[in-house]
Copies of this chain bind each other. A is one copy, B any other.
Amino acid sequence: MSHSWKAGVEAAIRAGERISDPYIVEQVRQAVLSQRLPPGTRLPEVALGEIFGVSRSVVRRALTRLAAEHVIDQRPNQVARVRSPSVEETRETFAARRLVEGEVAALLAGRGLQPGVLDELEREAQAEVEAHGRGDETARIAHSLAIHHRLAALSPNRVLGAMLTDLVLRTSIVIALYKRPTLASCFLEGDHPRLLAALAGGDAEGARRAIEAHLASLEALLDLGPREEEADLRAIFAGVTTS
């Protein structure tokens, strides 16, 4: 039970913020994204209620919404826990995101976007490079997320945009979960600028390819080795038993 997290929230509360379930949802979401709440962490309703200074009613609502967003697992009569997606689901999430974000990027390129918006995206990409240069991984991730989040918000097709928002969150969680410990950063130099160039040039298929390549590289950076399962156990000990 990360005390630093509790402390941070308590500080925010004392600052006079109005607390209700959207606030709690956002706080938990951010805490999970930044790994202050690692997968598997228990989220008891009473504890959360005390932290945020509200009763279980509000917390329950927030938890229900977080479960709908695939951030936590809620099982009957059991404590809610931060989700810990399997390797399998990680691969599937990436595949889904390639499909959806590729389409969104293609739509965006095809229909052309406002120059101001493009400038903003390029500023974020530049900020990401700079953050990476000075070794500030937290800021780098924030800028990278901002780009993809902005893409989702700009999507001409809002249904796809909402789906993309969900997928960006889910991939971020699994990236944090499965990142190779030896890797300092998941920064892929040039990927974002390439995407923005295709977007600026109105090259729909180029934008789609840029997204697909970017996400494939990202996935390849993860440690998605063979999953530990009972089947593996049996295979490993085959012939070792006395039978």
Contacts and interface: CB of A to CB of B under 8 A. Distances in A.
A78 B77 CA distance: 30
- The count of identical subunits is 2
Interface stretch (A9-17, A32-40, A59-67, A109-117): A59-67
Contact of A157 (B60, B65, B96, B158): B96
Nearest to A98: B103
A68 interface: yes
A157 B95 contact: yes
A99 B103 contact: yes
Nearest to A64: B64
A159 B65 contact: no
29 contacts: A60-B61, A61-B64, A64-B64, A64-B65, A64-B68, A65-B68, A68-B68, A68-B69, A89-B158, A89-B159, A92-B157, A92-B158, A92-B159, A92-B160, A93-B159, A95-B157, A95-B159, A95-B160, A96-B157, A96-B159, A96-B160, A96-B163, A99-B99, A99-B100, A99-B103, A99-B160, A100-B100, A159-B170, A163-B163
